[in-house]
Each structure stands twice: as C-alpha cells, then as structure tokens.
Structure 1
Amino acid sequence: MARQRSLLSLVLVLLATFLISCGGPTVATAPPTYTPTQIEKIQGYLPKIEAVRDRSDELKELIQDNNWVNVGNFIHGPMAEARLNMTYIIPNLLPQDQPKARQVARDMFNHLVQIDQATESANSLKALSNTKAAFADIDNFLNLLPEASTSAEAG
C-alpha cells in the first residue's frame, strides 16, 4: 500500500510540474522602440551626415578635374567627419540595427581608404567607383535610422 502511495505521489508531482511549466500567462513583450533621448541624439548628428551626402557632386567634380589635393582634403575632412558622426549614432540605434550599422560604417571607411589610394595613384576610375559606393553607404546608413529622426529633418 505504501508503495502505491509513493508511486501515485510521484505521478501527481510529475503531472503538476508538467502542467505548471506548460500553463501560465504569456506576457507579450512590446517591440523595442526609440526613447526621446535616443531620437534627440540621432537628430544632433544627422544634419552633418546629410550635409556631406548632399555634397557628393562636389567630390565627383574634384575627381573628374584630377584635383587630387582637394579630393584628399574632402575625404579626410567632411567624409571622415560624417563617418565619425555615424559611429556616434550607432549606440543609439535599436540593438538589432547596430550590427548592420557598424558594418555599413566599416564599408564606408574601406571605400574612403580606396579613394585615398586612388588619389595617390591618380586613378580616376577607382576613385569615382569608390566615391559612388561611399555615398551609397551613407544612404544605407540613413535608411537604418528611425523615421522620426529622418522625417523631422526633412520637414
């Protein structure tokens, strides 16, 4: 009789454990959103990045004119500052967007290095193709930003 009680107790404990683990309320977690502080920080750096993006034709003209000194000044000045501002924005992005943003910033840096190497060898084709890629990286980065920050700047 004692053996049957212990076996019945074991079965009841297992059944209770199973029911407790399967049951219970499920808590729906809200998707991550940006805080007003994060939006404010992003908006602080955004105009500088957009200003450089809007100067893309200026850099292309410098390359086409073989004005290599000013090409170097442009990529080491405004373009490098835009990349720096991108790195300041990355920690304020949502966690799932940060790795992609870091990769885009790294790609932009690599394209700037390629442009710099092209200026040393006066290679217009290499410089132009990497310029196009660098500005595409800026656009890709801007696409990762929250709508509130990009629409606030546009409007």
Structure 2
Amino acid sequence: MARQRSFLSLILVLLATFLISCGSPSVATAPPTYTYAQIQKIQGYLPEIKVVRDRSQELQELIQKNDWINVENFIHGPMAEARLHMNYVVPNLLPSDQPKARQVARELFDHLIKIDQAAESGNTLKASSNAKAAFADIDNFLSLLPENSTQKS
C-alpha cells in the first residue's frame, strides 16, 4: 500500500510539473489603436458634423420665432445628415467605443423626433429643450472620436 502511495505521488508530481511547464507567460498586448485609414474616414465625415453643431444657435432662433416649417427643414436636412455621418463614423471607431457611439446616435435620433413632434404641435419649450439635448448628443459623439482626427478638421 505504501508503494502505491509513493507511485501515485510520483505521478501527481510529474503531472503538476508537466502542466506548469506547458503554461506560457502572459504576454501583454498593446491597446487597440486607430489605423491611418480609420483616421482618414473619420476626418472625412467630421466637418459635416461640426458644421451642424456650429449652427445650433440658428435652430434655437427658428424655434423662438415659431418658424416651424424651417425648424422641420433644419432637423430633416442638416441634422439628419449629421446623424447619417455619425452612423458612418461608428464602424471606424475602436470596438470599445462603438456601443457608446451607437447609443449617442440613437439618442440624437430620439431628440430629433421629439423636436419634430414639438414643431407639429407648436410647443416651443419642448422643441427648445430637445434641440439643446440634440446638440449635447453631437458634442458627446465628438468627444468619443480620437483626438488626432478632431484636431486636423
């Protein structure tokens, strides 16, 4: 019986040694980075998004004047184009940033719908607050972009 225990101990020691020797040291992987092509694609869409963001005061003035036709034209024209460009940028972001960017683009769409509904009913307060939220969404989206793509635009 003692002989079987020593033989079993020897097998366990050999097995443990084998398993430890087969393990490899953990290799640190570099964090994901943007390729030159991704930066170029992002930079191609960025100016259109920034132009719309810079026109935020124009939309607020249209809302204050109760110029609902031009409010609807603005949100269905330039704002919709900005959202479309945001959707084109999302696949070029790092995989870790893509879900947040999609969520921000979805929130922008929800705010545009609410502005449209407010314009149809003539609700200045609702349109104004959702317009501010929509431009905040654009700013949030721009904050997700890599710094070297936003600096060159």
TM-score by length of 2: 0.93
Partner amino acid, structure 2, of 1:91 = P
Residue equivalent to 1:13? 14
Aligned length: 152
Partner amino acid, structure 1, of 2:13 = L
TM-score by length of 1: 0.92
Provide, for residues 38-67 of structure 1, a one-character-per-residue CA deviation record: whole Å limited to 9, x for no partner. 000000000000000000011111100110
State yes or no: 1:32 paired with 2:41.
no
Partner amino acid, structure 2, of 1:14 = L
Residue equivalent to 1:125? 125
Q: Secondary structure at the match of 1:34?
A: coil
Residue equivalent to 1:65? 65
Give the drift of 1:10.
1.9
Partner amino acid, structure 2, of 1:125 = L
User: How far apart, in 1, do the equivalents of 2:101 and 2:54 lie?
Assistant: 20
Residue equivalent to 2:102? 102
| Off by >6 Å, runs of 4+ in structure 1 | none
User: How far apart, in 2, do the equivalents of 1:5 and 1:28 lie?
Assistant: 40
Q: Where do 5+ consecutive residues of structure 2 fail to align?
A: none
Give the drift of 1:151.
0.8
Provide, for residues 58-97 of structure 1, a one-character-per-residue CA deviation record: whole Å limited to 9, x for no partner. 1111100110000000000000000000000000000110
User: How far apart, in 1, do the equivalents of 2:3 and 2:92 lie?
Assistant: 64
User: How far apart, in 2, do the equivalents of 1:39 and 1:136 lie?
Assistant: 23
Residue equivalent to 1:44? 44
Give the share of equivalent positions with the same residue, in percent. Answer: 65
